[in-house]
């Protein structure tokens, strides 16, 4: 088998789509499955920066994914994109002496129904990684051979109604986690001594700086580990602020009140999360990594696609959800953090809830997905 990934990541859409494809690619490579990423130059640089990166990358110009283009232009560009993918897959097949079955993994909301239609018309076997079943809102059917949503909330999104011909891989048994987040030890809250602040791979609104300013305004004094992702564009400003001891946010200077350990594009996140007493995190795929590290968290929702999984995570009891889609409230969240950080009993309850959620998940969702790929390809042979 050979896997092709069509996916992108940047400061605008973040790196979540790219990271879960990367997690699946790692499991594939461990199973001796060849991996090819089809992406733009920015995404290529990110992939090459990963520890122990392996695989092939084919660069494609994705400049046509800008907003405000005519509908007919989108259709034409979808077709050009799909033709490029088809050539890549055909070329790779012709270079192999043995018969390698191939499947494309598609991840991103720009790859809409018309894009899937073009893939299906081209006869390409493909899987679609999803979060919220947006096709249901548009009364459209999925055309993918396989639809994957590893969140527990996936069962509530009615895929069976608008993906009648797709193999459905729904729920935590298909959650795509990197190997380092599977079967981790439980480190007690009493042995954790820092707040983790991580607003995802891009943090386009620079919530990192705003949150640090709010914590300092309220005189938070415990150590804070600040992680920014590879697509974060305000690194220089943040470093200068930390070095000077003053945070300049919204033209207001605020003296830093706590020790800050800043890391950009950290790649040992499991170790960092395992030793964090409490976390403030963007409510993307990072939430599943935090849960598997048994780390109580505040999940900050900034986009509609984050809401279903974050809401269910909050219902599970191991975290709290903060909705910033309409209004951002740094001070309000900072007050909640300060109230919770010293409440060891409350944090222990949340940690136990995380343990309860994953005690029966000592498996690799990526391996389960790969098994489904094998089944589907065998039926098409």
| pLDDT for residue 50 | 85
| pLDDT for residue 69 | 47
- Regions of the chain with pLDDT less than 50: 65-69, 71
* DSSP assignment letter at 259: -
Pick the CATH number of 183-358 from 3.40.50.150, 3.40.50.720, 3.90.470.20, 3.40.50.2000: 3.40.50.2000
Domain 2-177+363-380 falls in which CATH fold? Answer: Rossmann fold (3.40.50)
CA 347 to chain centre: 25
CA atoms within 13 A on the CB side of 29: 16
| pLDDT for residue 67 | 44
pTM for this model (two decimals): 0.89
| Cα 106 from Cα 109, distance rounded (Å) | 9
| Cα 149 from Cα 63, distance rounded (Å) | 27
Residue-range domain boundaries for the chain: 2-177+363-380, 183-358
Describe the crossing of helices 330-341 and 207-217 by its angle, rounded to 10 degrees: 60
The alpha-helical segments, DSSP class H, found in the chain are 16-30, 41-48, 71-94, 113-121, 134-137, 159-162, 207-217, 235-244, 269-274, 286-292, 307-316, 330-341, 344-358, 365-380
Kindly list the distances between the CA atom of residue 186 and the CA atoms of 243, 317, 318, 372, in Å, as whole numbers in the listed order.
34, 17, 14, 31
The alpha-helical segments, DSSP class H, found in 186-234 are 207-217
Domains 2-177+363-380 and 183-358 share a fold: yes
| pLDDT for residue 68 | 45
| pLDDT for residue 63 | 57
């Amino acid at each position: 088998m050979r896997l092709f990934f069509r996916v992108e990541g940047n400061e605008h859409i973040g790196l979540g789509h790219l990271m879960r494809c990367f997690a699946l690619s790692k499991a594939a490579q461990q199973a001796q499955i060849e991996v090819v990423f089809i992406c733009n130059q920015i995404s290529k640089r990110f992939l090459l920066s990963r520890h122990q990166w392996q695989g092939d990358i084919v660069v494609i110009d994705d400049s046509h994914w800008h907003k405000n283009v005519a509908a007919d232009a989108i259709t034409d560009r979808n077709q050009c994109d799909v033709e490029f993918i088809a050539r890549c897959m055909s070329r790779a097949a012709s270079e192999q002496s043995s018969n390698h079955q191939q499947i494309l993994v598609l991840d991103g909301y720009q790859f809409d129904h018309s894009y899937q239609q073009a893939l299906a018309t081209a006869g390409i076997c493909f899987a679609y990684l999803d979060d919220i079943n947006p096709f249901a809102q548009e009364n459209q059917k999925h055309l993918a051979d396989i639809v994957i949503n590893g969140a527990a909330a996936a069962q509530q999104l009615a895929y069976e109604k608008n993906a009648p011909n797709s193999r459905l891989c729904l729920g935590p048994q298909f959650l795509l986690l990197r190997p380092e987040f599977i079967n981790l030890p439980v480190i007690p809250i009493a042995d954790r001594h820092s707040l983790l602040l991580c607003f995802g791979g891009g943090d386009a609104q620079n919530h990192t700086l705003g949150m640090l300013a709010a914590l300092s305004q309220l005189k938070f004094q415990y150590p804070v580990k600040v992680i920014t992702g590879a697509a974060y564009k305000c690194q220089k400003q943040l470093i200068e602020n930390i070095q000077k001891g003053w945070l300049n946010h919204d033209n207001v200077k605020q003296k830093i009140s706590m020790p800050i350990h800043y890391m950009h594009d950290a790649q040992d996140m499991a170790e960092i999360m395992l030793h964090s007493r409490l976390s403030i995190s963007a409510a993307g795929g990072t939430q599943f990594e935090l849960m598997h590290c048994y780390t109580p968290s505040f999940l900050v929702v900034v986009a509609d696609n984050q809401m279903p999984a974050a809401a269910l995570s909050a219902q599970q009891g191991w975290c709290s959800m903060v909705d910033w889609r309409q209004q951002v409230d740094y001070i309000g969240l900072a007050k909640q953090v300060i109230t919770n950080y010293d409440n060891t009993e409350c944090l222990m309850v949340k940690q136990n809830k995380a343990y309860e959620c994953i005690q029966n998940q000592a498996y690799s969702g990526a391996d389960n997905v790969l098994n489904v790929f094998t089944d589907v390809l065998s039926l098409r042979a």
